[in-house]
A and B are shown apart, each in its own frame.
Chain A
Amino acid sequence: SQQGEEDPQALSIQEGENATMNCSYKTSINNLQWYRQNSGRGLVHLILIRSNEREKHSGRLRVTLDTSKKSSSLLITASRAADTASYFCATAVGGTASKLTFGTGTRLQVTL
């Protein structure tokens, strides 16, 4: 079964708005990563947050991690049409950190 589950499954917003995606996971983790996938393309790494971190920023991206709730959120501020993609969270689990386990993804549509 999937370690991570994203919510919502799909999100449609207008350009300039903020987009928030959530990820819940089941077991203790070393870190949690977010990836973007444009239609028909491979995944691109966005940001990594370690289990001892609570918040991390990268450009217009803000990621939070709440290990007590086993959840993370990805905020994209001032969204652009080019942000249209699927977003996946992935976890590296202690003892098996040689592999990543992915969630099912959130499909984000940003319209003009």
Chain B
Amino acid sequence: NAGVTQTPKFRVLKTGQSMTLLCAQDMNHEYMYWYRQDPGMGLRLIHYSVGEGTTAKGEVPDGYNVSRLKKQNFLLGLESAAPSQTSVYFCASSSRQFANTEAFFGQGTRLTVV
């Protein structure tokens, strides 16, 4: 059981380039999330999805787009990367609302924008 898998694990981008981060979960979870983690800031929610075909903005959505075309996949896109988007990105999933359950996290994607 792989759980939550993120691709790629590391990436270096030049300012202005675009890329897509892929998150895949094999637990049939309804909810999926993208967080970014910066030193001293903890984890901040970028976007999330409460089911296939749905997305919603989190705390820091600017500069990112997401899609949830399939239940098991949640994609995070950067259309024009900026140095401020240098961070570690984590995907997570949960079976239902957090009122009753925990999140399962991927191993992270370390992105550097130069």
Contact = CB atoms under 8 A, between A and B. Distances in A.
Contacts of A98: 31, 48, 50, 56, 97-98
B99 A31 contact: yes
Contacts of A102: 35, 42-44
The size bracket of the interface on B is: 20 to 34
Interface residues of A, number: 26
Interface of B: 4, 31, 33, 35, 40-45, 48, 50, 56, 58-59, 90, 92, 97-108
Interface string A92-112: 101001111111110000000
A60 interface: no
Interface of A: 2, 4, 30-31, 33, 35, 40-45, 48, 88, 90, 92, 94, 97-105
